[in-house]
Amino acid sequence: MAARLIDEEPELAHQHALAASRSAGRVGVVRETVAITAYAVGDFALALRELRTHRRITGSDEQLPLIVDSERGVGRPDRALEEGRAVDRMTLSVLVRVQLAIAMSGARLDLGQTDRALQELDIPEADPDRAFEWSPALFSARAAVLEELGRHDEAAEWERRAQIASDALDAASGVADREVIVVEEIDLIDDEGGVDVASGVIPVADVDEDEAIDMQTVADDADDAEESR
């Protein structure tokens, strides 16, 4: 129930998580759920406590980005950076590494270290020509930092890429309006399941190896839809 409600009714989701913790407080996923729902309702202190309990029970660092962000939430960006630096990032999954980079960048912004906030986002996954599940958030984070630096044209370009990537990923999962977003068969797939986007084709992490999203089609169709309105 917490998972079903978290996006629409986070307060109610949190109550379900708390109810679960009263019955199964020693189960890692229960403490993790309490932490996530606490974060969603803005109770960062509780989120931190539950995240640390979850880490102690499971030995997992998969929620490290949320720990960093929760430290920011309680007004401790310095502590947030310490938490992020305490773990070898190569031991983390790609998605968690990206989320951690975004959280660390946010902590730098909290401290007024805008240039270093941009450096935190200079990771291999920030490839403007390819998109996976983490790309929209990563591109948007970069756009926000560039905006803070006064590099408005670059910020606008990264925000545009974030929107196109988001639309493409939605299309691949069947979320977007099929009259606007088109999934096309392609032939050129590299060893990583990605496609060179020099020709306007975007790879998506959760599509079959013989499918990808045509980014140019996404952008052109979106422009046409906007013009028709």
pLDDT in tens, 30-82: 999 999 999 999 999 999 999 999 999 999 999 999 999 999 999 999 999 99
User: Which two tokens mark 126?
Assistant: 């920030």
Residue 220 confidence (pLDDT): 53
- Average confidence (pLDDT) over 113-124: 96
CB-count exposure of residue 12 (10 Å: 0-12, 13-18, 19+)? middle
Using an 8 Å Cβ cutoff, are 36 and 66 in contact?
Answer: yes
Using an 8 Å Cβ cutoff, are 169 and 131 in contact?
Answer: yes
Query: Where do the structural domains in the chain lie, given as residue ranges?
Result: 1-60, 62-125
Backbone angles phi, psi at 7, to 5 degrees: -80, -40
Query: At 229, is the pLDDT very low, low, confident or very high (cuts 50, 70, 90)?
Result: low
